[in-house]
Amino acid sequence: MESFKDQTVIVTGGNTGIGKEICLQFATEKANVVVNYLFEEELAFDLVAQIEKLGGKAIAVKGDVSVLDQAKNIVETSIKSFGKIDILVNNSGITRDNLMMRMSEEEFDSVINVNLKGTWNMCKSVTRHMLKNRRGTIVNIASVVGIIGNAGQVNYVASKAGIIGLTKSLAKEFGTRGVTCNAVAPGFIQTKMTDSLTDEVKEQYLAQIPLNKFGTAQNVADSVLFLASDKASYITGQVISVNGGMI
């Protein structure tokens, strides 16, 4: 399949985990992929090489999405390299988990700044370009906890719930210009972090999931590609939950 041939996609936090899988899936369909990263530069350039081996085109762009000027630079560099931006995937995110009583102001602010303000910064930076072209797709990565809440994560939950609200509002603002905006809310996804959990903790999480298995990065990427495709052209302002039935 080459559904995204010659389309340009920016994936923030694209060099590891779910972001990496999203980049690879777009690459297999011959999209031009912009791999945004802030840390682990070597992984970003390794991913660019993998994409080129698949026959795609890619660049790695360093930038902190929580800083508006750097977000603008990611967008401007992408346009200079590929001439346009068709798809923006806001995947960058961090956690600083703690109980409310113990959570520091820095732990709260840093998560809001990267997850929520970073998403706003990137959407803000592509707005003029996409609205002028009267086409474009934004897919924001939210979380199941942004819908149901989670103890010990008030900062992360607030940021992800904010992303859901931002998504619904932008869908209403951008719809008349042919730009869609949706979110994907992953549940418990198998990553390096979950691999390090004890069997007992894994069983506790699995007990909450009717399908009795953790999701994969590809499960999330598949939903992102669907929302970015022409098959989802009449879908906007929606949250697709990828959680195995947790909620």
User: Is 156 annotated in the active site?
Assistant: yes
Note whether 70 and 61 are within 8 A (CB): no
Q: Cα–Cα distance between 128 and 113 in angstroms, integer? A: 22
From residue 190, how far is each of 18, 114, 193, 227 by CA, in Å? 10, 22, 8, 22
Which position among 37, 156, 205, 234 bears the catalytic label? 156
Q: Cα–Cα distance between 92 and 101 in angstroms, integer? A: 27
Return the H-helix or E-strand segment holding 33.
Answer: strand 32-37
- Nearest alpha carbon to residue 240 among 224, 217, 218: 224
Q: Cα–Cα distance between 20 and 86 in angstroms, integer? A: 18
Give the tokens for residue 80: 């200079």
Residues 6+ apart with CB under 8 A from 244: 187, 188, 209, 210, 211, 212, 213, 214, 215
The residues annotated with a catalytic role in the active site are 156
